[in-house]
Amino acid sequence: MNNNAEDVSNQQLIEAQWYRLSPLSICFFVFKFSRQLFKDALPALVPLFAVVVSGNSSTSVLSIAGALLVILIGLFAILQYWFFKYSIQGERILVHEGVLKKYRHNIHCERIQNINVLQPFYFKFFKLVILNLDTAGSAASEISLPGINQIRANNIQRIVFNNSQSLRQNIQNHLDDIPSTPHTNNEVHVEITALNEGENSQQANPQLSNRQLLVKTRLIHLVQYGLTSNNIFWFFAAITPLLNSIDDLLEKYLGKENINQLVGLLGGGYTGGILLISITILGIVFGAICFSILGAIIKYYQYELSLNTPTLKRKSGLLTQHEESVNLSKFQAIIRQCNWVGVLLQRQNLTLKQVSLYSSRKSAAQQLFVVPSLNFLQVDKISHIVFDNFSFSVKLTPVSRRYILSAWLKLMILPHIILIIVSLRVEASYMLNIIPAIFLGCFLIAYGRWRKAQYAINDEFIVVQSGLLGFRQIGFPLFKVQHVTIQQSIFQKRHNLASVFIRLASNKIVIPFIPLKVAQECYDRISFQIETTTKRWF
């Protein structure tokens, strides 16, 4: 396909023309089919590999099997490319694909939730991208267009968002020509008003009038994000299987004599052993920090967040460039996080929560719309853009002190059960002597959680805070709430307290141990917003 065909206008795309992918999309299908094949067939291939290796002619058999597998994958990728074609017809995107089983995708622009643009390393030189269109309610990305020109990807993005807005406007214009009756058209009128309210409120905001760059991170910001995020825990999760055999690994790779020499250099005896263990632990922690920083750089390198009303767009990536565009109305809540390192550095991370009713189709990392390493002014600016008139700078109210007792009891149950079982099995009753220390430690943790457990409720928004050393705040408009309940335990009922459970389309929030009167007021405010609002929740 020539360059003129790639650089088509919106009008040409809307006409019923069918397009093919670039031949380089075969690389994408090779990687995709290989990954899926080894993921599904690996449990069966391992014993088969063991049987083949144990035979006399293992080398020749493996060579033939490997060659056949490469030919099979290459043939499938070529056929997948050959049968793949797509078209944009009016307000719908059509894709025909499949080799043995044919698939016909027909997606209305209004149903598209996210538009993701990825550029793997093997596409960068040719200026090709992978365009993924995600819809609410799908079990996977409904449409994936690998190996299309960057210009065409941008054209498709404009068509999707323009059709979403023009569709609502056309429906509204059509309704204006119909004589309204109180009972027949009232329901339709409310629905169309709900569709347009989000856009009207955004147009009233002068900050959203033009395209603007909101955030552009530097390398130092990514280092700060690596320190202030929770990616360090992924490193410890990855090395956990090795911790049980760390002594054997050190002895195997360093040698017993070398270990004794290191202990001797550090003073010998118990002192040298303790110092060696301490240095090893510090090395593991340093490795975890480097792992987190490196992951942040690879994922968020050259991060940019821009606004083109009503769309928020982010772009980042070192090896594979990711580009995602989301309509502002799709966001359900904003999470502001800051651990103890972030408190010292005065940097915070934002996560914009989207609908996750079908979140099992992706990993959490793929779904999150993260804005890394922000200062306080940037947090307020982005929060105000996502939700009009919203800010985390509100006065928070602490929950009841009786929350400490509830959290303390929950924390003590599991460690005490484990401690009692271990002490009985190894006949080491002296281990029960550390129970007072566990009591004190659990109480301090429960007290710290209570200090961070705060909330704020007004007529439009709710902010809920939790944490221990740092904090985690989540804010959302009342009209985004899908379901709200008030629960009272026997202990809470005696003290006129209650907990409010709020369900959004993105996640669940709990406001624990607040006065029953406040819980009822919160319930009434949310119910009033749900019944009377004309704003779009999605």
**Tens-digit pLDDT profile for residues 209-230:** 467 899 999 999 999 999 888 7
Query: How large is the average pLDDT for residues 512-533?
Result: 93
What burial class does residue 134 get, using C-beta atoms within 10 Å of its C-beta: 0-12 exposed, 13-18 middle, 19+ buried? buried
Q: Which of 31-35, 112-116, 488-492 is the least confident region?
A: 112-116
Residue 123 contacts residue 129 (beta carbons within 8 Å): yes
Query: How large is the average pLDDT for residues 123-145?
Result: 77
Q: Which residue has the higher pLDDT, 262 or 286?
A: 286
Q: Can you read off the two tokens belonging to residue 53? A: 């290796």
Query: How large is the average pLDDT for residues 482-504?
Result: 93
Q: Does residue 35 have a pLDDT over 90?
A: no
Query: What pLDDT does residue 187 have?
Result: 33
Q: What are phi and psi of 266, to 5 degrees?
A: -90, 10
Give percent of the chain with pLDDT exceeding 90.
34
Residue 356 contacts residue 507 (beta carbons within 8 Å): yes
Query: What pLDDT does residue 461 have?
Result: 95
Q: What are phi and psi of 482, to 5 degrees?
A: -95, -35
Query: How large is the average pLDDT for residues 117-125?
Result: 88
Q: Which residue has the higher pLDDT, 188 or 347?
A: 347
On average, the pLDDT of the chain sits at: 78
**pLDDT bracket for residue 524 (50, 70, 90):** very high
Q: Which of 283-297, 361-375, 401-415 is the least confident region?
A: 361-375
**Tens-digit pLDDT profile for residues 394-439:** 999 999 999 999 998 888 776 666 666 665 555 555 556 677 778 8
Query: What pLDDT does residue 14 have?
Result: 44
Give percent of the chain with pLDDT exceeding 70.
72
Query: What pLDDT does residue 516 have?
Result: 95
What's the pTM? Answer: 0.74
User: Residue 429 to residues 412, 414, 434, 436: CA-CA distances in angstroms?
Assistant: 19, 18, 10, 14
Residues 326, 327, 333, 335, CA torsion sign: positive
**Tens-digit pLDDT profile for residues 239-255:** 665 555 566 666 666 66
**Tens-digit pLDDT profile for residues 183-209:** 333 333 333 233 333 344 344 444 444
**pLDDT bracket for residue 113 (50, 70, 90):** confident
The residue among 45, 34, 41 whose CA lies nearest residue 72 is 34
Query: What pLDDT does residue 534 have?
Result: 82
Query: How large is the average pLDDT for residues 27-48?
Result: 74
Whole-number Å distance between alpha carbons of 392 and 481: 18
Query: What pLDDT does residue 398 have?
Result: 96
Residue 452 contacts residue 466 (beta carbons within 8 Å): yes
**Tens-digit pLDDT profile for residues 461-476:** 999 999 998 999 999 9
Q: Does residue 455 have a pLDDT over 70?
A: yes
Helix (H) / strand (E) containing 394: none
User: Residue 410 to residues 92, 227, 413, 417: CA-CA distances in angstroms?
Assistant: 52, 30, 6, 12
